[in-house]
Amino acid sequence: MGSVNFDTSVRYLNGVGEKRAETLANMGIYTIRDLLYHFPRAYQHRGNVRFVAEAEDGETASLIMTVASQPHTAMLKGRMTMTKFSAFDGTGKCNITFFNQNYVSKIFTVGATFRFYGKIQRKGKAVSMTSPAFEPYTEGIALPEFFPVYPLSGNLTQNYMGKIISSALTMLNEAQIEDILPEKLVKENRLPSLGWALNTIHNPMSYELMEKARKRFVWEELYVFALAISLSKKKAKEGNAPVFAKSDMDRFYSVFPFSPTNAQRRVIGEIEADMTDERALGMSRLVCGDVGSGKTMCAAAAMYMAVSNGYQAALMAPTEILATQHYNDLGVIFAKLDIRCELLCGSTPAAKKRIIKKGLLDGSIDCVIGTHALLTDDVEFGNAALIVTDEQHRFGVMQRSALGDKTKGGHILVMSATPIPRTLALIMYGDLSLSYIDEMPPGRKKVSTFLVDESYRARMNGFIEKQAGEGRQVYIVCPAIEGEDEGLVGFDYHPGDSRPKLKNATEYADTLQKLLPNLRVALMHGKMKASEKDKVMSSFASGEIDVLVSTTVIEVGVNVPNATLMIVENAERFGLSQLHQLRGRVGRGQHKSWCILVSDSKGTEALSRLEAMTETNDGLEIAKKDLAIRGPGDFLPDKSGNTRQHGGVAFKAVSLCDNTADLEAAFGYAGEVLSLDPKLDNPENQAVAKYVEEYFGSIRSSVN
């Protein structure tokens, strides 16, 4: 077999037939590069070696032992087999059992020494392991400390994925690997070669080497991200929006059932100043504010200004249920102002869609509120001059640009309920002016936040019943959908970490329904279809569900004023900003509300983070703490527009970036490159240009 390069199809590898190639394609793996950048989602820490005498029941660890007895295989019911033998170290004996693996009897000969890795069972002095992973052990020869565990799909196995990745690494020559990082960046940050980093990320001999390799990929991700954002900013600055005349804002304020806060008036004034400034190229403004601070009123004011000046406006939300909520809230307001507003979503009936699209094109519809449905090619405006995007961190760069294209250089207003520290906002959204709504409307109740451990479980269940008995509703958020991986460490693992068992939403919903049979418990998670999630959320909003057990998909959701209790399980697994978003789901009505963070973590850092949540309700202060502790990963969108969740792999390596310094530096390197090669046309930038386009779409093709 000849040599391969990054663009070679995975079909070139031994063991990749047509069916397995289809499965890999479903995972986004088509080429050798796709395969090698399919990083482990975690690692088995086989370097966590214990003596038999000190091994604890339920612990996942390694035991280095010598085979003491010849394996014996017995037949069980259902044509199953069981192979058993014993092994020992200097402190004690362990019984090993394998099911349906008769071949192991030829591997384990008496006197041979192996490293066994798996879950340890202990009953008194009796220690046992069932179907452990194993490798021959020789004194003085180091075995890998970490074994990779890959994201899988279909009938693919860890063993298979490891084999084809090893095959690709063996066949790939260093000279055939295109390095996308500038030589200056590599030298100044003392980064390893790409070939070494790829080999090490898949086969780390130690935590230190794993970290060194991952640092390399942190820089790759940040550099590509910086290039794409910089190119997007360049395009945004080429707009030439119309200059508006000042509008009668007293008329606008008069139709609202409440008075704006001073912060809202200030932000609306900043928006008006942008759009009436003859010297500017148009408004490009980011409005940050906590959930409930009144960002929607500011957006409505901007849309009113556009229509008052004879132009159309559009507001795009990330989910259909949120778009519908905006339409229900603003439709009534706009009707009082004689503004025709329509809702355009994926579920809008075809006949209604045709009417709306015709009205947008001929200008008879003043405003439209919708989802990604607004991005389709057949949605055209007669004279749109304002685009508003809600929950900007949920949209990719190109989604914002695509909607902006429809205004042919109009005004841009971006809203985010994630309070972003100013330094990070200037990096990420340098083309946008920044406004903070730093004042909550009168009557918005403070959510009391408590940190508890598992010993409070019975009291929490009683409190859930009490809230439901009073007619209130409850959110419970779990970090996992179903199941749990035993003995794995994530990319943010550090030696000595001890993490509590994960609560999964599926199992917890079943358990809670049995414990509280009189309550209506429902389940919602990210693997459900959008229509299914909308149905569950609508039922919860209408009061048909007492307790909603969910993953973080409710982080951005419908307004449910009747929800008064938020419980977050394994709270140590979430970033502070994400916890603050979840807390913002309650306290939206007239009733007293609570947020309970549940964690059995013993780590001082985790506990100090969670205690910060109990001390303040200020979203910006929390965001600053989160940025200082966890780095910028939670604020950065992936190509689907989703922010990285803790332990996730949207940004596959950026969780090791501990502060904004690397991100700022990445923008510096990107700026130097673009100053010499604005379109990334030079030969030395062709490789990175391809990855920029892959990640964000064809940004540079639209840069003039």
- Helix/strand/coil (H/E/C) assignment for every residue in 608-619: HHHHHHHHCCCH
Instruction: Report, as ranges of residue numbers, the positions in the chain whose pLDDT lies below 50.
Output: 1, 393-397, 491-497, 633-650, 655-659, 697-704
Strands (E), 537-607: 547-550, 563-568, 594-598
* Per-residue pLDDT at 430: 62
| Dihedral angle sign, alpha carbons of residues 23, 25, 30, 32 | negative
* Per-residue pLDDT at 535: 87
Taking the alpha carbons at both ends of the chain, their separation in whole angstroms is 44
pLDDT, one tens digit per residue, over 144-200 is: 888 899 988 888 999 899 999 999 998 887 657 778 999 999 999 999 999 999 999
Do 244-437 and 448-616 come out as alike in CATH topology? yes
- CATH code, residues 47-143: 2.40.50.140
Please tell me the pTM assigned to this model: 0.59
Element (H, E) at 79: none
Which pair of structure tokens corresponds to residue 625?
């703490």
* Per-residue pLDDT at 194: 92
Tokens 């069972």 belong to 121
Which CATH fold topology does 244-437 show? Rossmann fold (3.40.50)
Specify whether the CB–CB gap between 135 and 102 falls below 8 A.
Answer: no
CA distance 175 to 10: 19
Specify whether the CB–CB gap between 270 and 419 falls below 8 A.
Answer: no
Strands (E), 69-203: 72-75, 81-89, 92-99, 113-123, 126-130, 133-136, 147-149
* Per-residue pLDDT at 574: 82
* Per-residue pLDDT at 664: 79
CA distance 99 to 105: 12
* Per-residue pLDDT at 660: 62
Which pair of structure tokens corresponds to residue 460?
């929490």
* Per-residue pLDDT at 482: 65
* Per-residue pLDDT at 703: 40
Edge-to-edge strand order for the sheet containing 547-550?
A: 448-452, 594-598, 563-568, 473-477, 547-550, 521-524
* Per-residue pLDDT at 617: 80
In the chain, where the domains are located: 47-143, 244-437, 448-616
* Per-residue pLDDT at 636: 45
* Per-residue pLDDT at 422: 65
**Superfamily of chain region 448-616:** P-loop containing nucleotide triphosphate hydrolases (3.40.50.300)
* Per-residue pLDDT at 448: 93
Q: Distance of CA 256 to CAs 57, 270, 419, 589, Å? A: 63, 20, 25, 18
pLDDT, one tens digit per residue, over 209-223 is: 988 998 999 899 889
